[in-house]
Structure formats: structure tokens, C-alpha cells
Structure 1
Amino acid sequence: MQGTILLTGATGFVGGAILKRLHLEKKRSVVAVVRDSSKVILENVPKVCIEQFDGSTQWEQRLDGLDVVIHAAARVHVMNDVEDDPLAAFRNVNVEGTLNLARQAAAAGVRRFIFISSIKVNGEGTAPGSAYVADDVPAPMDPYGVSKMEAELGLRQLSLITTMEVVIVRPVLVYGPGVKANFLNMMRWLDKGFPLPFGAIHNKRSLVALDNLVDLILTCIDHPAAANQAFLVSDGEDLSTTQLLSRMGKALNAPRRLIPVPSWLLEGGAALLGKKALSQRLCGSLQVDITKTRNLLGWAPPLSVDEALAITAKYFREHH
């Protein structure tokens, strides 16, 4: 049995998938961190309850004897934030909470700290034909992205003054079994056979299947070349919104009624309705280059886009 891992965010979309994979492989013992003690996790997996996650949280003996921390907990991005000061709210959890945990982990002798960040550190979109790379100058444009960038900077500084190694992983949009929000809505629209005005969108967006993301995170636990590096992750195939809807519809065995409305008309209508951010996701491009991830770690996405969409569709059919 290799060293013990502490996993935060163990009941979340990404954290839950990491926990299942670690438990299935049985190569390492894992301790799951939850905020609600009533939350059900996998049998025979010890858990600790941290009700408040910020700069004042005392981790005490919970870090003793640990080898790795995988930090998947966060205050996540929301489309319509109701906080009076969203940046302060994000900083409280994503910056102060993260760095507080990391400092105590370093003091306890933790070997490696894996931080699940966000592509929003790079920015909100790319020009046609260009892609973000891991070592670009950060250019976050919203409070969530700023908080993730500030946490990254603090972790990098910590790695310079302690022996703890830091690994940063910036996912793009993650989909897979149990996905929610806009991706789930997209599957519902397709499943009901609704005509959708997205048949002529020629953007390019990088996505990452949940299984592919988890595979990379587990690769970073022990890979020597991952130490003190930042990585972007995707499925390795970029799709337009039209292509995504068509291939998701095929996976669902649902009719694809995609009306070829010009993207400029969609964007104009969305702006009038106050939905500019949503139109950016539907019509704009956001591509990432994972060459560094492939070359430095010898890693490739285990699942193709179509394989991952089929798994996502199967879960949707069984649960919706």
C-alpha cells in the first residue's frame, strides 16, 4: 500500500469520481473530507468532517502521516452570483482556505499537493485558430478565475520555501455521468426532440470527460515530472457547439433538430436578453493545447469524445 491521500471535495462531481477511482484501484488508502457529516460516501473509506473551509480552519492531526493532498473542494463558479462581494466570497474559500490547508500540509510533511484549478485562470476564450497553453500569462476575467489564479500563485510561492511539491491542474468544461447545469439541460433538450437554433455554429471548444480528468489527476500523484508544474487537460479533440449537439444526440439515440441560425444573430439576441455570458459559451471558442501534458507526463486521454459521450448518455438514460 502506497502513502495515504487526503481528498477534499469528496462528494462533489470531480471529487466523487476521484474517490471512486482511488477506491477501485486499491493502491492507496484515502481519507475523504466532507462538509456535511451525513453525506454518504463509499463504504470502508474513512471520512473527516470540516464544516467551515476558510483561512481559519484547523486541520490538526488530520494531516499527520499523509503523503498527498488532492484539493478538489472549492467555491464554484455560478452564472448569477447573489453575493454582495463575489470576489471576497471566492477568496475566502478558494484562496485563504486553500493556502491555509497547504501551509499546514507542508508543515506536516505532506509530499505533494495537487490543486484542481480552472481554465478560467487563462481567460474566457480564445481567438479562432489559437489555444491556451499551460504557461501562458494568466488573464482571469471574473472573480472565480481571479481567486483560482491567486491560489495558484500562493501555492507556487509555498513550493519555493518548503519541501512540498505542488501540481496544478486546470480543466476545461468537465462532462460525464452525473453532469449538471448547461450540459444536463442540453441533453434534456435533445432527448425531448426540441428544435434548437444551433445548427450553424462554427466555434471550437475543448472539453474534458470526467474519466479523462480523473486519470490525469491520478497520474500526477506519483509522476516525478509533475512536481511544481501546471497542466491543462482536455479530450484532445475540440468540437463546435453544433458538432457537440449532433454527437451527443447520436449517443442518446435522439433526433437532432438543429436549425442553422447564424451565430451573430444568436449572440445579438442573447445580448438583448442579458445572456451574453451564455452566448459566449455557445458561440465563442475556447481551446487548449495539451502538448505539455502529453510530453512531460507521457499521458493521453484514455477515452475518446464519442466513448465519453456514450457513457454520459447511458447514465442520463438510467437516471433521468
Structure 2
Amino acid sequence: MSIKVTGSSGFVGQNLLAYLKATDIAAINRKQLQRVTPEHLNGAYVIVHLAGKAHDLKKTSCTDEYYQVNYELTKKLYDAFLESDAKKFIFISSVKAVADSVVGILTEDAVPNPQTAYGKSKLMAEEYIQAQKLPEDKSYYILRPCMIHGPGNKGNLNLLYNVVQKGIPYPLAAFENKRSFLSVENLCFVIKQLINNPIASGVFHVADDESLSTNKVVELLANASSKKAKLLKIPVKIVRTMAKLGDLFRLPLNSERLQKLTESYQVSNKKVVDAMKVPLPLSAIDGLTNTKMK
């Protein structure tokens, strides 16, 4: 079975290629993607579209770049897919295409209302895919992962891991939250299931089974490193003031990063698990415990 993957050099891409190592896989780089034609995709059974412009916490990216990469390139690739002989198209979107904040548990029934250029550009790509007439012998899958972690991760969980490794007390323990995470191994498992099984087209949220507080995550990362978790409960008002200073002086802790680390953001994975008819291989706790961040 031949698979073509965009974004293969990224965090998810590298893990996916390692996970599917026994499969015939070819990478489509950014230059090839910009001029992709149906002929470039012929002979492949599945197209996995991972390439995209990630959310920029430093706010240095041009807004138009999100739309050019996340929407226009996806549109170009999907058009080529529809005219090629490839059968399945898997697009990695984001829960941020639906909501930047969540009350309760986020499901696929929620009406999308993204607030950032990143989320809006991802949603535009989703809506384009769903609006096109789909031949009977083809399928599409739009995956909306929540915060992903695993080997090579460079996001907020890596920041937490570095804090734990250096023995620095975690200063946000006064915040109480519950949020969903996603082991990259679980994401790769879902992608493999979609590739290998006759699952109906659709939009699927992807998350580990359990939601965890950030304090619990710090404890898990500490235990995995044979260290004692140090939880410091600085008053919430003081922390928010510090984050605002981070906005002004571009410090590691800014308002957006504070929100990501302390907000409640729970995501249901019921739809995708029901569609696969098999459980995810890793629990949230096992995934975080087994993660060795770099």
C-alpha cells in the first residue's frame, strides 16, 4: 500500500513515518506541494496531509501566511486528490478550528467559532474539503487533534518538562483545570486505522481517553524522571500580572501561554473510537509517563 505524506519532517510526520515503517511511504515536500498535480498523486492509496502553519505563540507570523499555507495549499492538494486515483485523504486540522476555549466537553457537534487566524484558516480548509463532491470510491478524514505530546515535542509540555528537570517549582499550581492531551502514538494509531479500514468519511476529534490537570501532568513528568514534583501556589492575580509583563517584554510566560497551561479544555474522542471499533493503545497517564521529551 502506497502512502504519500506532506509535512513528513515535522514532529508528527517523523513519528508517523517511524510508526508506519513497514509501509511504502513517499514524502511530498513544500516545494512539490506548491505545484502538485493529480499525476503526482497517482499510484498512492492514501494522502496524509500534515503540513501546515502552526500556531505562533510569539505572534511574529503574518496573518496571510496562515491562509496561504493552511487553506490554499490544502485546497490545491485536495483538488489534485479528487482528480487522482488515490482513494483516501487524511487532513490534520486542529481543535482550534472549532473553539479557542471550551465550557464542558468539546464534541464534533459544536458550532465552529475560531478566534485566531490559525483556527480560521484550518476551518476554511475543512469547509472546502466537505463542500466538494466526493466520488463514491474515495474517502476523506478531517482529524482535529488537541495538544499533542511525544518524542521531539517542542510545545508547552516540553516547557513543563524542562521546569521539572531543572528542579524549578511549578509556579501555576494555584490554577485548577482539566484538559485533554494526545499522545503522538495514539494519533499515529488513529491514522493507521483510517488507512487500513473501511471507515466512513467525516470529521473526528482526537484525544487521549482521560483529561488531566496541569498539576497532575507535572507530577507525572516528575515521577517519570525520578524527581519530586514541586508545586508552587502563587496567587492567581500575581501570576496574571506577570504574564502581562511577559506580553510586553516577550518573556517565556505570556498571557497566551498562561491560558494554554491553565485553562480547562476537554475534548471527546468517542466518535473516532466508535468508528474504529478498537480502543486507543495508550492511556493519557501512560502516554505522558512514557514520553521522553528532548
Instruction: Confirm or deny that 1:266 pairs with 2:239.
Output: yes
Higher relative contact order (CA 8 A, sep 6+): 2
Cα displacement (A) at 1:132: 0.7
Indicate which of 105, 113, 117 corresponds to 1:139. Answer: 113
Q: In the alignment, is the contact (CA less than 8 A) between 2:175 and 2:236 conserved in 1?
A: yes
Q: What's the CA shift string for 1:39-97, capped at 9, x where partnerless? A: xxxxxxxxxxxx2644xx233632111111011111111112324x41x2111111111
| CA RMSD of superposed structures (Å) | 1.9
Matched to 1:9, the amino acid is G
Decide which of 88, 107, 112 is 2:83's aligned counterpart: 107
Aligned equivalents of 1:147, 1:157: Cα separation in 2: 15
Q: Determine if contact 2:179/2:211 at 8 Å carries over to the other structure.
A: yes
Question: In structure 2, what is the Cα distance between the partners aligned to 1:187 and 1:150?
Answer: 34
Deviation at 1:185, TM superposition (A): 1.9
Q: Does the 8 Å CA contact 2:186/2:208 hold for their aligned counterparts?
A: yes
| Deviation of the 1:162 alpha carbon | 7.3
* Aligned match for 1:233, one of 206, 228, 236: 206
Amino acid at match of 1:301: L
| Structure 2 residues not aligned, in runs of 5+ | 248-253
Contact 2:48–2:91 (CA under 8 A) maintained in structure 1: yes
* 1:297 pairs with 2:271: no
Three-state SS of the structure 1 residue aligned to 2:267 is coil
1:34 alignment partner AA: N
* CA distance 1:258–1:159, shift in 2 (3 Å): farther
Aligned counterparts of 1:276 and 1:152: Cα–Cα separation in 2: 28
- Output the CA distance in 1 between the equivalents of 2:137 and 2:125: 18
**Which of 58, 62, 66 is matched with 2:44 structurally?**
66
Contact 2:149 2:181 in 1 (8 A): yes
**Identity rate, percent:** 30
Residue among 17, 20, 38 paired with 2:18 = 20
Q: Given the two structures, how large is their TM-score scaled by the length of structure 1?
A: 0.84
CA distance in 1, matches of 2:204, 2:124: 16
Which residue pairs with 1:164 in the alignment?
138
**Matching residue within 91, 94, 98 for 1:122:** 98
In structure 2, the partner of 1:152 is 126
TM alignment of 1:19-38, pairs within 5 A: 19-23=17-21, 26=22, 28-35=23-30
The CA deviation at 1:284 is 1.1
SS at match of 2:211: coil
Q: Does 1:248 align with 2:221?
A: yes
Three-state SS of the structure 2 residue aligned to 1:180 is coil
The one-letter amino acid paired with 1:66 is A
Q: Could you tell which deviates more after superposition, 160-169 or 130-139?
A: 160-169
Q: Give the superposition deviation at 1:261.
A: 2.3
* Aligned-partner Cα distance in 1 for 2:89–2:207: 21
Partners of 2:81 and 2:32 in 1: CA distance? 17
Corresponding position: 1:284 with 2:263: yes
Indicate if the aligned counterparts of 1:9 and 1:72 stay in contact, CA closer than 8 A. Answer: yes
SS of 2:227's partner is: coil
Determine whether 1:306 maps to 2:285. yes
3-state SS of 1:170 partner? strand
One-letter amino acid of the structure 1 residue matched with residue 209 of structure 2 = G
Partner residue in 1 for 2:59: 81
TM (normalized to structure 2)? 0.91
> 1:263–1:283: 8 Å Cα contact kept in structure 2?
no
* Partner of residue 9, structure 1: 7
Contact 2:97 2:114 survives alignment (8 Å): yes
The CA deviation at 1:311 is 2.3
Distance 1:237-1:62 versus aligned 2 partners, 3 A rule: same
